[in-house]
Amino acid sequence: MSIETPTRTDAGLTTVAHFVGGRRIADTGGRRGPVFNPATGRRTGEVVLASAEFVRASARAAQAAQRGWRDTALGKRQQVMFRLREIISSRADELARIITAEHGKTVDDALGEVARGLENVEFCTSLMHHLKGDYSEQVAGGVDVHQVRQPVGVVACITPFNFPAMVPLWMVTTAIAAGNAVILKPSERDPSAAVWLAEAFAEAGLPAGILNVVHGDKEAVDAILDDPIIRAVSFVGSTPIARYIYARAAANGKRVQALGGAKNHMVVMPDADLDAAADAAVSAAYGSAGERCMAVSVVVAVGEVAGPLVDKVAERIAGLTVGDGFDPTSDMGPLITQDALDRVTSFVAGAAAEGARVVVDGRERQFDGEGFFIGPSLVDGVTPGMRVYDEEIFGPVLSVVRVPGFDEAVALINANPYANGTAVFTRDGKTARQFEYDIEVGMVGINVPIPVPIGAFSFGGWKDSLFGDTHMYGPEAFSFYTRRKVVTTRWPDPSESQISLGFPTH
């Protein structure tokens, strides 16, 4: 398997093509977007952008292929999943380096992303179990009822830049295991990992046309949302876009799961191990330069722990190395684009004006070259109403909110419109249990700062962090990507035939 990976110089720009019908298609009308190496700021390639007509043609090709895949025996589908797992496992370093070249995260972080994506592949190797139906005999005299799961048809997966391998594996693996064909629209900022995955699926034995990678911008997205052939849409991204996708796709009669933004709080109680809490806060806030929807962006310090905790976090920040993701000494890489860097910088710059105290200013770090780098920032004395608190930053900025007690911490979190993930650090079981019970957030960690569920559970938040009723991957994903059909059966004796216009009962 081979893929054109972006080089690290301005010369010899590569072209990232679509992958439709089992082959790469590079020319779809002339529109192209830039691909950068975030560590150097240099343009390393370009990605072909699909027109609305190309999206529609890809959906028709997927529809033509899907019937044959639906008819494929479950055991053969299962073998594709087993082979896919082996291909990705054996070449994880290759995929991780592609991610680092276009996203900027460290290679170790990219390897972790691949490993978490593989969890869902492994979950889908048990597809025979996940697709089982139900059966009840003799519900009435000589009448049996059974329920089966059938694929939706053609589904679309619109994935974000921050996890260019993991989130596609969360979506497309389950959709394909369930018997659907997929249009995958990855982020145009780091598109190569999606093509690598499509070629891995093909090598694993997936028939042509079942997984199609279509690159694009809003024109492609709107075509996906409007095309009647595409019957379901999965999305991960910001809340405004999630809300837009949910509304437009649902208005067109599609199933939708649209995961939005986050403002994840980590509560530190007075009895917590402050060293462990500080380690967790730094790891969860600054990993992948904060470009994670499950990153901790707010520490809620309860009582007198705030001062010592802020000092411990600041000490740890000083020891972090920020640099090229390919450098094994780097703890944190750059942000993905100049626009992202400008946005994060604006939050740090505005925090002091809003009355907060910038304890560590990431803008003060000096970097060689023109990469999209900023150091970790720590802001104390933050309160609701400040922009640094109210908005999703999606960068390496950690805010500290001070509250007097447990009840105020819970009230603060429950008042936030985002409800993706949260955590509490405490040694007290009663406090932990009460937090778990009271908190209105979809994913909760007890002394775990980033409570992303393992592959056997499902991922998703509440409130403005999720639009739709179904969470991602795990058991709920098989429900999303299948439709249930109930069949009622009777084999009567011909001599018993009779006409009855009454409502059917037992």
> Which sequence positions are flagged as catalytic?
293
Both tokens assigned to 62: 């997927």
The two beta strands, 23-25 and 18-20, are: antiparallel
- 471 DSSP 8-state letter: -
Enter the tokens of residue 374: 């900023």
Contact 325, 39 (CB under 8 A): yes
Across the strands, what pairs with 378? 360, 398
Note whether 342 and 361 are within 8 A (CB).
no
> Cα-Cα-Cα-Cα dihedral of 226, 228, 229, 230, to 10°?
50
Location of structure tokens 């593989």? 118
Residue 443 and residue 422: Cα distance in Å, rounded? 6
Dmax over Cα atoms in the chain, in whole Å? 91
Nearest-angstrom CA–CA distance, 500 and 486:
23
Structure tokens at 89: 């496992």
Provide the edge-to-edge strand list for the sheet that holds 134-140. 134-140, 143-151, 482-490
Amino acid sitting at position 91? R
In DSSP terms, 423 is beta-bridged to 266, 445
Separation CA 486–CA 498 (nearest Å)? 24
